[in-house]
């Protein structure tokens, strides 16, 4: 097998593993979502979200682009893996402290309509912010080393333990919003310890040449911070605003519809996870080809699956979550369209990241995302949760248009084709065939 074929086989194997892991995680998250929705009803589900949202949201908001910078620098400077990883750990501690402090001060002013108990535990759970930061940075380091297995397991572990804890609460008749929130928080600690040990063995972090390592990380991180921030806001800003504007029962209904639509993110997320580390340092035309093929194939799959969810949406909501959530049908369909467009935007953005133009994609995405806040404040009071869904969709459409136009304007490359091609299907068929042939010796050895 030639070198190019080996690279394609390796990339496909990483993608298939990551996509499988994402589907498993989505299945586990769907199960926990069903349990919490049925046990807590819309109002209780809204209170759970109000407690759980903030440490994850703030950890990503204050990331300073370090996860992307670590991936990029480790691929460009593999000889500095220990020094760069040590500097990233120091950022983890600093980001966690700052983010937690901001949340502790700001939460009473942001969610005043929630009970004192909900506010108290929302602030307590901010202590988990450094853990959330470390998971993001640790996964970036592992993926840059090609260790997608460990990265995927660091996500599967917490989801599995959370589901187990929630089932025990259900069995013990102790299912409350606060107890469920503790399950989510505590279930992440054992997998994080395991990932920390794996991270240490993989990169052996050292705290030497800190000034140079910090400068390397920040020089790329500050430029890519905007895109990381845009990615975080595109996922969480609607929830952060909805939780501020609407009462808990409507928040619970919105979160259920959002969770069901976000199941479609598995393929795009898996592609981004593999595409960015592999595209770094490649020629521009090769990056364009990789990005175009990735966005076409994953978007096609997402559209097909999304159409199924839109058709079966009303029955799925009642069957999975209960009759109380029947009113989420309309926003579910809007959010499915938003996921398809947003996923394609996320994949195309990786070309800018790999070609060392993170500042451009940051600006383009920020322009589109900044539309979300005024749209939310205008449409949500008037149309409720449907207004929130439309705000997200309009903002995502703007980001998609800006990113697509940026290929010719800033990268001086043609726009990637978005319609599936016969060559894409041939590539997939050949790569799958190579993958199956590569597995045959392993299967034969196992049988022997």
Q: CA end-to-end span of the chain, whole Å?
A: 25
Residues in Cβ contact with 178 at an 8 Å cutoff, skipping those fewer than 6 apart: 51, 117, 121
- Domain for residue 276, yes or no? yes
What's the pLDDT score for residue 162? 92
What's the pLDDT score for residue 4? 47
- Domain for residue 268, yes or no? yes
What's the pLDDT score for residue 166? 94
Q: For the chain, which ranges sit under pLDDT 70?
A: 1-21, 145-146, 227, 231, 234, 272-278, 280-281, 365, 424-425, 427-448
Dihedral of the alpha carbons of 259, 261, 262, 267, in degrees to the nearest 10: 150
What's the pLDDT score for residue 314? 82
Asked if residues 228 and 62 have their Cβ atoms less than 8 Å apart, the reply is: no
- Domain for residue 202, yes or no? yes
Distance, CA of 101 to CA of 129 (rounded, Å): 10
What's the pLDDT score for residue 443? 43
Asked if residues 220 and 358 have their Cβ atoms less than 8 Å apart, the reply is: yes
Provide the number of structural domains found in the chain.
1
- Domain for residue 446, yes or no? no
- Domain for residue 143, yes or no? yes
- Domain for residue 266, yes or no? yes
Residues in Cβ contact with 310 at an 8 Å cutoff, skipping those fewer than 6 apart: 332, 333, 336
Residues in Cβ contact with 275 at an 8 Å cutoff, skipping those fewer than 6 apart: 290, 291, 294, 347, 350, 354
Helix (H) or strand (E) holding 366: helix 358-369
Range of the domain at 367: 3-437
Size of the chain in residues: 448
What's the pLDDT score for residue 375? 87
- Domain for residue 105, yes or no? yes
Distance, CA of 68 to CA of 419 (rounded, Å): 29
Question: For residue 343, what are its two tokens?
Answer: 């996923």
- Domain for residue 443, yes or no? no
């Amino acid at each position: 097998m030639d070198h190019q074929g080996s690279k394609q086989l390796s990339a496909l194997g990483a993608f298939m593993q990551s996509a499988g892991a994402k589907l498993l995680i989505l299945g586990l998250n769907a199960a926990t979502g069903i349990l919490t929705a049925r046990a807590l009803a819309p109002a209780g589900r809204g209170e759970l979200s109000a407690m759980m949202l903030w440490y994850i949201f703030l950890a990503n908001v204050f990331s300073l682009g370090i996860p992307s910078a670590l991936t990029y620098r480790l691929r460009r400077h593999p000889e500095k893996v220990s020094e760069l990883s040590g500097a990233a750990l120091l950022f983890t501690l600093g980001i966690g402290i700052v983010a937690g402090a901001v949340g502790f001060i700001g939460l009473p002013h942001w969610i005043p309509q929630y009970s004192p108990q909900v506010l108290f535990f929302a602030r307590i759970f901010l202590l988990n912010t450094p853990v959330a930061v470390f998971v993001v940075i640790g996964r970036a380091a592992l993926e840059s080393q090609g260790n997608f297995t460990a990265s995927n397991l660091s996500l599967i572990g917490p989801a599995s333990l959370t589901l187990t804890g929630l089932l025990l609460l259900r069995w013990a008749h102790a299912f409350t919003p606060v107890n469920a929130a503790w399950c989510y928080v505590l279930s992440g600690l054992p997998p994080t310890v395991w990932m920390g040990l794996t991270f240490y063995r993989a990169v052996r972090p050292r705290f030497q040449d800190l000034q140079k390592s910090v400068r390397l990380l920040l020089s790329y991180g500050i430029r890519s911070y905007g895109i990381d921030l845009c990615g975080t806001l595109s996922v969480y800003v609607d929830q952060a605003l909805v939780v501020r504007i609407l009462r808990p029962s409507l928040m619970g209904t919105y979160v259920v519809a959002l969770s069901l639509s976000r199941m479609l993110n598995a393929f795009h997320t898996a592609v981004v996870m593999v595409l960015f580390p592999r595209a770094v340092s490649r020629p521009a035309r090769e990056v364009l080809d990789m990005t175009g093929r990735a966005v076409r194939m994953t978007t096609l799959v997402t559209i097909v699956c999304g159409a199924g969810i839109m058709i079966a949406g009303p029955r799925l909501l009642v069957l999975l979550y209960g009759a109380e959530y029947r009113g989420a049908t309309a926003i579910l369909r809007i959010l499915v369209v938003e996921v398809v467009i947003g996923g394609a935007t996320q994949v195309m953005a990786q070309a800018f990241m790999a070609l060392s133009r993170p500042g451009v994609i940051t600006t383009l995405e920020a322009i589109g995302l900044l539309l979300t806040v005024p749209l939310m404040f205008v449409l949500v009071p008037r149309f409720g949760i449907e207004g929130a869904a439309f705000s997200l969709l309009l903002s995502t459409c703007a980001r998609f248009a800006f990113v697509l136009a940026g290929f010719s304007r800033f990268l001086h490359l043609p726009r990637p084709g978005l319609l599936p091609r016969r060559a894409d299907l041939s590539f997939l068929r050949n790569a799958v065939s190579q993958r199956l042939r590569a597995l045959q010796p392993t299967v034969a050895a196992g049988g022997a």
